[in-house]
Amino acid sequence: AVRGFFRERAVLEVETPLVLSRTVTDVQINSLRVEDSRWLHTSPEYPMKRLLAAGSGDIFQVCHVFRAGESGRLHNPEFTMVEWYRLGFGLPQIMQETAALAATLLQAGGRTAPETEAISYAEAFERELGCNPLTASVEQLRQLAAHHGLAASSIRDATRDDLLDFLVAVVVGPRLGPGRLTCLHHFPASQAALAQLDQADPRTALRFELYAEGIELANGYVELASAAEQRQRFEADLTERRRRGLPGPDMDTRLLAALESGLPPCAGVALGFDRVAMLALGATRIDAVLAFPWDRA
């Protein structure tokens, strides 16, 4: 169904290496090391962007990816990701296409195609927590996090983004997508990752996540094309990693070189295939749709 969806749209299927010489600097993601200088990829994003800069046009990939320490009802350290990039797409277009793909896969599993809605990050916080995440003080966010169960020891060392992430994880996210597909869009600029900032409101990024039944299914961006800005973000990630005592991998200079050569205007998405399969088949745990989950692999 995935391949048919993209074939109808003339999107080229590609393959990139599972083992890379560089890994992500993102503070929230831990990579699995293969040897001293190689890593299992956490997504195919960086090499796919190198293909885009080389003139590939629209591309997609279905592949296994790996993230250390992510095990649970909705997580397995090895899982299947669908990642794709569409030239010239803005945020509304890529959100619409992501919801269309998810609906197609849910139907392939026997579900009725759900309706789709979109709500901004700020609107969702206001609705669920009575709080504006773009203007709330750190103290306000600490009080909200404490009220919703975050331990005092965790609150003491938490950054603003840590507190926002906690509130999304335990309050906002689980209430999104009941009986429908919900696009949560315009994340705070501090959580832009590899997304452009919105010129109309630089406090926010052109980033979204897709939810169904309170479960995050996909994460997408209107892609940042500035090598200088991307380097600054990598450096900020590495500084925060050092503060937390986390490993500090080298930044991906090949990606930066590709951006310098010219990334075409595009938007990209990573979708968790196993989570969609889980919902499509009415399962409650991700290991129900994996032949060999981590503890049996």
The overall average pLDDT reported for the chain is: 95
Residue 264 to residue 267: CA distance in whole angstroms: 10
Give 286-294's long-range contacts (Cβ < 8 A, gap of 24+). Answer: 286/73, 286/74, 286/75, 286/76, 286/79, 287/76, 290/76, 290/79, 293/76, 294/71, 294/76, 294/77, 294/78
Question: Token pair 């190689």 is at which residue?
Answer: 38
pLDDT-based confidence at 172, cuts 50/70/90?
Answer: very high
Whether the per-residue pLDDT at 159 is higher than 80: the answer is: yes
- Binned at pLDDT 50, 70 and 90, residue 11 comes out as very high
Q: Where are the alpha helices (DSSP H) in 148-212?
A: 152-157, 160-167
Question: If you search the block for the tokens 């994880």, which residue do you land on?
Answer: 169
CA 7 to chain centre: 24
pTM score of the predicted model:
0.94
